């Protein structure tokens, strides 16, 4: 168990000079800083998430339009990829 007097002796009397109100003030300042920091981080993360979501949605829309414009090529590619994956998976299970 740690004793208060032992801690004071080891600290060279530093604990006598520390005032509780100063500690509370420092803790309040740290709490306010952390609150501001987490708020700023949350706003930045939300902004980046929204930007990424719009970028992915736009890319998906473009891919869908391209597939609709080139339906035959899209079907041939999809069938080819399916056959290739089936072949690879079939060989790996033997």
Q: CA-CA distance, 57 to 62, in Å (whole number)?
A: 9
Q: Which helix (H) or strand (E) holds 48?
A: helix 20-69
Q: Looking at the domain assignment, is residue 76 inside a domain?
A: yes
Q: How many domains does one find in the chain?
A: 1
Q: Looking at the domain assignment, is residue 2 inside a domain?
A: no
Q: Which pLDDT score is estimated for 76?
A: 93
Q: Looking at the domain assignment, is residue 77 inside a domain?
A: yes
Q: Looking at the domain assignment, is residue 12 inside a domain?
A: no
Q: Looking at the domain assignment, is residue 68 inside a domain?
A: yes
Q: Looking at the domain assignment, is residue 10 inside a domain?
A: no
Domain containing 82: what range? 20-93
Tens of pLDDT, residue by residue, the chain (94 residues)? 445 555 455 555 455 566 778 888 888 989 999 999 999 999 999 999 999 999 999 999 998 998 888 999 989 999 999 999 999 998 887 6
Q: Which pLDDT score is estimated for 10?
A: 53
- The answer to whether the predicted template modeling score (pTM) of the entire model surpasses 0.75 is no
């Amino acid at each position: 168990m740690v004793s208060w007097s032992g801690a004071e002796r080891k600290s060279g009397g530093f604990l006598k000079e520390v005032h509780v109100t100063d500690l509370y003030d420092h803790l309040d300042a740290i709490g306010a800083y952390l609150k501001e920091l987490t708020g700023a981080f949350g706003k930045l993360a939300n902004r980046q998430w929204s930007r990424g979501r719009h970028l992915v949605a736009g890319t998906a829309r473009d891919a869908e339009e391209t597939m609709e414009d080139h339906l035959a090529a899209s079907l041939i590619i999809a069938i080819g990829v399916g056959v290739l994956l089936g072949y690879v998976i079939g060989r790996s299970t033997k």
